[in-house]
Amino acid sequence: MKLDGLPWARHWPFTGAVLALSIFGVAMIYSAGVKNIPSPVTEGIWVRQAIVLLGSILVLIGLSQIPSRWFEWMAIPLYLLSLGVLAVTLVIGTGSGTAEGMRSFLTVAGFQFQPGEAAKITTALALAKLLARKADGPEHLRDLVWPVAIVGAPLALVVLQPDLGTALAFVGIFFAAIFWAGTPWPMILFTASPGLSLILSFSTWIWSAYFLSLIVGLYIYRYRLYLVESLGVILANLAAGAIAQPLWNSLQQYQRNRILVFLDPDIDPQGAGWQLVQSKVAVGSGGVLGKGFTLGTQKRLNFLPEQHTDFIFSVVGEELGFVGTSLALVIFGYLFFRMIRLAQAFDDPFSGIFVFAILGVWLTHVVVNVGMTVGVVPITGIPLPFISYGGSFLLMSWVAAGLVVGMARDVR
């Protein structure tokens, strides 16, 4: 068999970008373990990440040989299985080494696995299967009830763990999938409006102005909506505004602090704001070319928390500077560009929606992770795809990549 006859080789721009990011990630994880005072948490973990990467490459090669129809047939059973595993995780799960009080990991044969990562893929499969049934895409808000339910079930289970960072990825899956399925922009905005209402409810005046503009928008778009749909949007926004304060009160103190220090890091620079302050110092001190590989002082002196997972991008910024961070983001951009081209090339709507949903997952991770390291979004504890340390996260990212390549086996 010729090499170019293999799906992963034929689509080498995509697989090459994934591999380049993963190798870069192993190198930065190695650097994260190089400190003036060695830490058992980070020392030698690059070896484990490299081993998982080798296994992940084999997984991608294997999955790329499986016809996409098999995954379309198995989409709902795999989705239901993932829901069951997430429910079990709430009962017997444990936190990671840095996530106290969480129940987001299961330990199988000594290997710690995060079911939420697999649930992202199965949710994307189930959502693609559902949305692909309607050739013209959702035409009314009622057409989005089942898609909301499919995403809402795993999202709710993940929030209960609680793992708000992973929960954000499910939001990315949903909006990416319904967009690629052909949902009109106004309907997407109306669907997102309760979330926006929840965010803006911190100010009565701002929320009132937003709610009035929503009413105007519904009136303008009334010829495309049933009365019950318009009422549903209004009631959902009212409910979101009403539960904002109780929801805030239900948050753990550390979760509230993360939001407060995002608004003003200086209110607690030695406590809740420590991560953000040190991350911005690390990124800013890197300058154009950085301090050099393994030579970052914030990292070496252990000022930078979670430098091998959530704040790996801060290490990149400190040691490789603007050039290094830009290169990483350019590769991500190229990866997303290739996925859009693949999604456009599919004759099968199921494959196109799935690929774009996975793009939504990775794009959410990149935007939130990079954003929180420089202080433009609240700290949520979300890793950077292919670069942050995490065996199950890396493996499931490559599983998703394997499915993308497999679905593109007949695309030239």
Is residue 360 assigned to a domain?
Answer: yes
- In whole angstroms, give the CA distance from residue 7 to residue 412: 10
Per-residue pLDDT of the chain (412 residues; tens, 9 = 90+): 455 556 656 778 899 999 999 999 999 999 988 877 777 777 789 999 999 999 999 999 999 888 878 888 999 999 999 999 999 988 887 766 444 567 788 887 777 888 899 999 999 999 999 999 887 778 888 889 999 999 999 999 998 887 888 888 999 999 999 999 988 888 898 888 888 888 888 778 888 888 899 898 888 887 677 788 888 888 988 888 888 777 777 666 666 766 766 666 666 566 656 777 888 888 888 889 989 998 888 878 777 778 888 889 999 999 999 999 999 999 999 999 999 999 998 888 999 999 999 999 999 999 999 998 888 887 777 899 999 998 889 999 999 999 999 888 766 6
Residues 364-378 have pLDDT tens digits of 999 999 998 888 887
- pLDDT at 198 (0 to 100): 85
Phi, psi of 391 (to 5 degrees): -65, -50
CB atoms within 10 A of CB 177: 29
- Residue 263 inside a domain? The answer is yes
Q: CB of 166 within 8 A of CB of 393?
A: no
**Residue 340 lies inside a defined structural domain of this protein:** yes
Cβ–Cβ under 8 Å, residues 379 and 371: no
91 located within any domain: yes
pLDDT at residue 264, rounded to an integer: 65
**Domain membership flag for residue 165:** yes
What domain count does the chain have? 1
Residues 52-84: pLDDT tens digits? 999 999 999 999 888 878 888 999 999 999 999
Quick check: is 412 in a domain?
no
152 domain-assigned: yes
Integer Cα distance of 185 and 354 in angstroms: 19
The Cα 301–Cα 233 span in angstroms is 51
Q: Which residue segment(s) compose the domain that 48 sits in?
A: 3-407
- Would residue 69 count as lying in a domain? yes
